[in-house]
Structure 1
Amino acid sequence: MKDLIKEYSLILLGSVILSIAIAAFLLPSQIGSGGVTGIAMVINNIFGIKVGLLTIILNIPLFIFGYKLIGRKFAVRSGFVVVLSSLLIDYFNSIFHFKPIDDILLSSIFCGVLFGVSVYLIFMSYASTGGLDILAKIINSKFKNLQLSNILLVQDFIVYSLIAYVFGPRSVMYALIASFIRTKTIDAIQEGIASSRQCIIICQNSTEMISVINTQLVRGVTVLDAVGGYSNDKKKLIYVVIQRTQLNALRAIVKEIEPNAFVAVSPVNDILGNYRQLLTMQ
């Protein structure tokens, strides 16, 4: 229940940030967007139907036909994101009546940053923003010879062509800037908050150290015999991989058990095998 509350809190926060990015920056400045949001913007410009309402309507058939492909848990959470963020988009627009910022480039940058933060929070909670990614999976399941990446590329090309036709090529250019910023924001968060660290601890009181790391950090360790090159004292080398958010806890453990232990910490680019990413809130 605790994990469930934490995950849905992240979904709620991500949905709010996503809706603010669209309502405050994307729509007023007419910055293009791929996927369902871009299609909704085009239809809104032509017929005047609210973007949030259109987003829900366009996503309904995608979830119906793609339900089996994405799974019940993922579908329910993604549907919650779509409905909540879409309703908030229309609500924010009706209440605040956002006006475009004079500097569209600045709007694109802020839009990309907010998109990146919101998407990361939502993905971290095992959900998605729905949209044409589901359609790509449906097409891929029917036509196995078509690569998923190529399907996504064609979809983006079609949507951006519509955006360019309705809003002009400049809208697509700013959309690409926002998309680039979004990707870099996600990468920065991934590397900065949820990235892993490999730690080498050389100590004498290894038994208690290993026990506390196993129980408090919920991490397995690898232990090797070591000999001090200067003192010739026999020691233990403990190797453990933790998440960056656990680093302060590890420092406190080492300081309490053996303050003179040698500790080396370095970043890890990738991990294969039995390693569990912990869901953390910062």
Structure 2
Amino acid sequence: MRGFWRKHGLVMLGGMCQGFGMGLFLFPNSIPSGGAGGIAVLLNYWFHINMGPALWIVNFSFMLFGVKYLGKRFTLWTLIGITMTSLSIDFFESHFSIPNRSLFYDLIIGSMFLGLGIGILMRNNVSNGGIGVIAIMISNGRNILPGKPLFLINSLIFLVTAAVISWEIIFLALISQWISTTVVDVICRVDFSPSYSFGWRKKP
């Protein structure tokens, strides 16, 4: 039971870190945090849906594809993570603003907190939702590493987002991805406790 509450707290923390980085720094500059973030930016642009609910809708929709494949427990933890992320985005967007903001600092700080949140979730064998779930399914089905399908899907979404809003987005999104994934690697390399699992496994 103690392990359950510890994991629950860490999943909530991971979602909050993601929401802080995206809601306060990345999304105000229309910088997508990934493929799901890019679709959320488009929903916000086209239909004026707030970024928090938009990201939840995207992540939940993609997650439904993986329920049967990845298992109910994995899906439930992922649902908790993406819900906390979306609530945090909505909270930080609604209650905080940065005067005289700098795109450079927003990009760096937002991407670092995004990577921190994703890293915490992955340390607990929880997906940050969205495109990651689809990439895992493709990688297992085709027996390839998940990085390639994840990169291709995200790149396609970045292209569409950039074509609709601004071509500068591709450059900013790629920098954000590099920073955040570097932070994820650091978090996943540090041996905090042997009880954590790093692997993605298909349910038996």
TM-score between both structures, scaled by the size of structure 2 = 0.84
Paired position in structure 2 for 1:218:
none
Aligned match of 1:52: 52
Contact 2:26/2:111 (8 A) holds in 1 = no
Out of 167, 170, 191, the position equivalent to 2:168 is 170
Instruction: Name the structure where strand makes up a greater proportion of residues.
Output: 1
Deviation string, structure 1 residues 132-178 (Cα, Å, up to 9, x no partner): 1222345567x748875443233112111122113322222122111
Q: Say if 1:63 and 1:75, in contact at 8 Å, map to a contact too.
A: yes
1:101-250 aligned at under 5 Å gives the runs 101-102=101-102, 104-138=103-137, 144=142, 148-191=146-189, 193-194=190-191
CA distance in 2, matches of 1:156, 1:119: 16
Q: 1:32 to 1:172 in 2, by over 3 A?
A: farther
AA aligned opposite 1:188? V
Are the aligned partners of 2:13 and 2:117 in contact in 1 as well (CA < 8 Å)?
A: yes
- 2: CA distance, partners of 1:140 / 1:179: 20
Distance 1:190 1:88 in 2: 23
**Conserved in 2, the CA contact under 8 Å of 1:23 and 1:98?**
no
**Aligned equivalents of 1:166 and 1:98: distance in 2?**
26
Look at both structures and tell me which one has the larger radius of gyration over its CA atoms. Answer: 1
CA drift at 1:187: 2.5
TM-score, structure 1 as length reference: 0.63
Distance 1:149 1:95, change over 3 A: closer
Q: Work out the number of aligned pairs and report it.
A: 197
Contact 1:8–1:125, Cα closer than 8 Å, also in 2: no
The Cα of 1:90 is off from its aligned counterpart by 1.4
RMSD of aligned alpha carbons? 2.5
Judged with a 3 Å threshold, the aligned counterparts in structure 2 of structure 1 residues 65 and 185 are, in CA distance, closer, same or farther, namely closer
Flag the structure with higher helix content.
Answer: 2
Give distance in 2, aligned partners of 1:179 and 1:51: 19
Q: Distance in 2 between matches of 1:166 and 1:34?
A: 16
Identical positions, percent: 26
Indicate the residue corresponding to 2:202 in structure 1.
Answer: none
Determine the structure 1 residue equivalent to 2:15: 15
Taking CA–CA contacts closer than 8 Å with sequence separation of 6 or more, which of the two structures ends up with the larger relative contact order? 2
Q: Which runs of 5+ in 1 are unaligned?
A: 195-244, 247-276
